[in-house]
Amino acid sequence: AGLRRLYLAVSEIRRVRFMTADMPGPTPYPLIGNVLEFAGPPDDIYDTVQRLFSDYGPVMRLHLGHLTFVAISEPDDVEAIVTSAKTTDKSSVYSSLEPLMGAGLAILGGETWRRHRKAITPSLHLDILRDFVGIFHKRGIAFANQLAALEGTVFDVTPLSGSCANNTICETVMSSDVDEEDPERTTFVDAIPKALDHFMYRVWHPWFLSEWAYSFMRSQFPEYLEVKRVLTAFTQQIIRDKRLLLRNNNNINANNKAPKKRQAFLDHVLTSEEGAALSDDELAEEVKTIVTIASGSSMDALTFLIYTLAIRQDVQERVRQELDDILGEDVDRPLEFSDMAHLQYTERFIKEVLRYFTVVPVFARHMAEDFKLPSGYVVPRGCQVAIWLPYTHRNAKYFPDPDNFDPDRFLPENCRQRHPFAYMPFSAGPRNCIGQRYAIMFLKTVTAALVPRLKFRVPADGPKHLGDVRLKMNLTVSVRGGANIEVCRR
Ligand code: HEM
C-alpha cells in the first residue's frame, strides 16, 4: 500500500509538472525545481520574488521541490480564486505553521474551518468593535508616551509598534488590563517574526516542511523549538488568566455586586450561541492564532504607517491638520467611535500605506480540482495558487503612477472605476481577514493619539523618499534594516 501511495503521489506531481509546463517561469532543475533562486540571504527573498515576477508575471509558475506554485496577480484571476467555494483550502505549506501559531482559522480547511469561522466571526462584529475604541485610545497614548521618552535618540520603531499592537490585542481579547512590563510579553512579540522566518525558510526549502525533517537541521531547530515554546506558553497564560478573571467575575456576581462590563472578544465567543460550537481546546488554538496573526500584521502595518509619516512630512502635516480640525483645542479628548467616519484623509492615508507596503504580500490556496483562470491557464489539482499582491498593488493599469504615494487615490471618485479586486490588503471572499475592521480602527485611533503629540522624522542618513525603503518578508513584509526614526514632542 505504501508503494502504491508513493506511485500515486509521483503520478500527481508529474501531472502537475506536465500541465504547468507552458506557463512562464524560471527554468526548473530536476527534483529541487527553482529553490536555487532563493538560495541567497533570507532578506533578499522579497526582491527576488519581485524580480521574478516582473520577468515572468502576471502569471508565474515556480517549482519548489515537490510543490508547484502558480503565482497570480491580475485582479480577474485573483477574484476567481478568492471568491470560489472550491478554492477555500489553504496551501499545504501553512500546516507547518500550526505548531507555532495554532490550529486556528488561518490554517484550517474544509468543514472544520467553516465551523470555526462561523463561531468566531460574530465576535468581531461592529457593535463589539465599538467598545474597543477606548482600549485602542488608551494603548495609543501609552505608545505615544513611550516614544516621547525616546526623544533625542534614533531607534527602530518596529519592536515598539509590536508591543503596542500586542498589548492592544491581548487587552481586547481578554478585557483585563495588561502588564506592559511583563518580560514574557516582550519575548512573545520578539518570537513572532522569528517564527515566521522559520516558516519562510521551510517554504523555500520544502523538504523541511515536516517538523521531523526540520529536526535534522541542527543550526536552526533548537531556536525553532524555543520559539514554539514561547508562543505556546504565552497564549496558554492568556487563557489561564481569562479563566481566572471569569471565575472572579462570577464570584462578584454571586455577592450581588455590579458585574464588570464584559467587552472582550473572548467573552463574546465564550457566551455566544455560535461560539458554543468550539471546544475549550479549539478555542485555545484560535486564541493562539488570533493573538499571533493580529500582533504580527498590526505590528508591521503600524510601523509602515509611522515610517511613512516620518518620510513624508507633507502627509504627516495633512493628517495632523485633520486631527486638529476634529479634536480642536482638546487634544486629550479620547477619540470616539463616532469620530471614525470623520477621519477621512487619515483613512485614505492608511489605505494607501497598505497598498504601497502590502503587509501580507502573499497567500496561497491548495487546488483540490483543476481550475481554469480567466487569463486562460488551467491550474491543475494538487497545485498551490499564490496571490502575489505587491504586483497587483503597483500595477499602473489600476493605480496610475503606482510608485507615487498618494492617499487621494482612495477618494470615492478615484475608486469608482477601479477593478474591485485590484486592491485587497485584507484579501477578499469567504476567507478574507476577519480582523479587517479591527485593524483599520486600531490604526486610525493610534494615529489620532500619536500625531497631535509627536512629530516624526527619519535620521539624516535615512531614506529621503518612500521608494528608497528596502523591504524584506517572511509571512508579512517589514523594513529591511529596521524602521529607524526620531521623534520630538509637539
Ligand atoms: C493591517 C493588519 C492586517 C492585515 C494586512 C491582514 C491581512 C490578512 C490577509 C491578507 C488575510 C488572508 C490570508 C489568506 O488568505 O491566507 C488575513 C487573514 C486573517 N486575518 Fe488578518 N490582517 C490584519 C490584521 C488582522 C487582525 C487585527 C486580526 C484579528 C483581530 C486578523 C485575523 C485574521 C484571521 C483569523 C485570518 C484568517 C481568516 C480565515 O482564513 O478564515 N488579521 N489577514
227-239 confidence digits (pLDDT tens):
899 888 888 777 7
CB atoms within 10 A of CB 124: 20
Q: Which residues line ligand 1 (CB under 6 A)?
A: 90, 105-106, 117, 289-290, 293-294, 297-298, 301, 359-360, 363, 425-427, 431, 433-435, 438-439
Phi, psi for 393 (deg, rounded to 5): -70, -15
Mean pLDDT of the chain: 90
Q: Is 433 annotated as a binding residue?
A: yes
177 confidence band (pLDDT: 50, 70, 90): low
For 27-56, write each residue's pLDDT tens digit.
999 888 999 998 888 899 999 999 999 999
Q: In this structure, which residue's CA is closest to atom 10 in ligand 1?
A: 426
| The pLDDT of residue 249 | 67
Weakest mean pLDDT among 11-20, 379-388, 458-467: 11-20
Phi, psi for 299 (deg, rounded to 5): -60, -50
| The pLDDT of residue 263 | 64
Q: CA-CA distance, 356 to 352, in Å (whole number)?
A: 6
Q: In this structure, which residue's CA is closest to atom 30 in ligand 1?
A: 435
| The pLDDT of residue 246 | 67
* ipTM confidence score: 0.99
Closest CA to 75 of 90, 58, 63, 91: 58
Q: How far is CA 263 from CA 63, 172, 175, 216, 253, in A?
A: 47, 8, 6, 46, 16
For 371-404, write each residue's pLDDT tens digit.
999 999 999 999 999 999 999 999 999 999 999 9
The highest-confidence range among 5-14, 46-55, 285-294, 323-332, by mean pLDDT, is: 46-55
Query: Is residue 366 over pLDDT 70?
Result: yes
Q: In this structure, which residue's CA is closest to atom 14 in ligand 1?
A: 363
For 255-288, write each residue's pLDDT tens digit.
555 445 556 788 888 788 888 888 888 888 888 8
| The pLDDT of residue 255 | 55
C-alpha cell belonging to residue 57: 508575471
Distance 296 CA to ligand 1 centre (A): 10
C-alpha cell belonging to residue 107: 490554517
For 292-323, write each residue's pLDDT tens digit.
899 999 999 999 999 999 999 999 999 999 99
Distance 90 CA to ligand 1 centre (A): 13
C-alpha cell belonging to residue 224: 525553532
For 75-132, write each residue's pLDDT tens digit.
999 999 999 998 999 998 888 888 888 899 999 999 999 999 999 998 888 888 888 9
Weakest mean pLDDT among 36-45, 180-189, 399-408, 428-437: 180-189
Classify strands 484-489 and 155-156 as parallel, antiparallel or unpaired: antiparallel
Mutate to test the pocket of ligand 1, among 101, 112, 116, 293 (most ligand atoms within 8 A of CB): 293
| The pLDDT of residue 31 | 85
Query: Is residue 422 over pLDDT 80?
Result: yes
Contact status, residue 136 vs residue 168, Cβ threshold 8 Å: yes
Distance 42 CA to ligand 1 centre (A): 23
C-alpha cell belonging to residue 359: 503587509
Strand-by-strand arrangement of the 362-366 sheet: 59-64, 67-72, 384-388, 362-366
Q: CA-CA distance, 217 to 237, in Å (whole number)?
A: 30
| The pLDDT of residue 488 | 95
How many residues belong to the chain? 490
pTM of the model: 0.92
| The pLDDT of residue 253 | 54
Q: CA-CA distance, 463 to 380, in Å (whole number)?
A: 44
CB neighbour class for 72 (10 Å; exposed up to 12, middle 13-18, buried from 19):
buried
Mean pLDDT over residues 137-159, rounded? 96
Helices 158-174 and 133-148, packing angle to 10 deg:
150
| The pLDDT of residue 252 | 54
Mean pLDDT over residues 11-33, rounded? 90
Distance 120 CA to ligand 1 centre (A): 13
C-alpha torsion 274→275→277→282, nearest 10? 150
Place of cell 490585542: 169
Distance 293 CA to ligand 1 centre (A): 7
Query: Is residue 223 over pLDDT 80?
Result: yes
| The pLDDT of residue 176 | 60
